[in-house]
Homo-oligomer: A and B are copies of this chain.
Amino acid sequence: MVRFFVSPQEFSGDELYLVGENAQHAKVLRLKAGEEVLVCDGQGQECICKIVDAQPSEVVLEVLERRESQTEAKVRVSVYMAFPKADKLEHVIQKATELGACEIVAFPSARCVSKPDEKSLKKKLERWQKIASSAAEQSGRGCIPEVLVLPSFQAVLERAAQADKALMFYENEQAVTLRMALEAGEYRTVSLLTGPEGGLEVSEVEKARAAGLQVCTLGKRILRCETAPLCALSAVMYASGEF
């Protein structure tokens, strides 16, 4: 079934409406009266709807059933990624959304080569959020992950540490595996923190430990900065019983 995201405000009542980009999309797909579509509020609620009237500028929908999204992961995983170069962050946002992350948080760290300035940040955040929305639609998510930028490494540690499992991946860690970290006790929320191209500095790893994060390895091979978060996210989804 085709999936549309509307704002939570547009989501109430027995009749829903697709307007703007959604109406355009419905037109491109040549949806007609009588067909069924799925409308999501992007926050985990969805409606199965029947098209009552399909006009180019507005599609009128009758709500057949309201329910919780069927496709969200049981575990809420936040992906914290140090700013990488160029389009790697966009890649991670798209893939992490497909893989079921609940939010993607970018932040500056000591060896980051690329840090967007204040001025360009607002525009970039809009673009990043759009990538997440589009990936959520295509992959059949019930929630659109939020893309955030935090101003400091310390702020990231404090926020990440609040999860049931707060994990930092570091190439020089050899003793503690992701498996050890995950198998030690139950969890419903997970933070996964990875460094930039040049890696994390020892002092940053120490700060993370002090803030309560567990430092783990992703194995003996060195993963690129855009590969590590997606590898870890895939493994957490597997470990928590998603597939």
Contact = CB atoms under 8 A, between A and B. Distances in A.
Interface of A: 70-71, 73, 95, 98-100, 138-141, 177-179, 216-224, 227, 230-232, 234-235, 237-239, 241-243
Contact of A243 (B71, B99, B177, B227): B177
Contact of A237 (B100, B141, B219): B219
B139 A99 contact: no
A30 B219 CA distance: 29
Given A230-B230, A238-B235, A243-B235, A221 B179 contact: no
A224 B230 CA distance: 14
A172 to B, nearest CB: 13
A43 B30 CA distance: 54
A243 B139 CA distance: 27
B178 A221 contact: no
Contacts of A140: 220-222
A73 B219 CA distance: 9
Given A177-B243, A243-B178, A71 B220 contact: yes
A140 to B, nearest CB: 5
A70 B220 contact: yes
A227 B70 contact: no
Interface centre among A95, A140, A223 (most CB of B within 10 A): A223
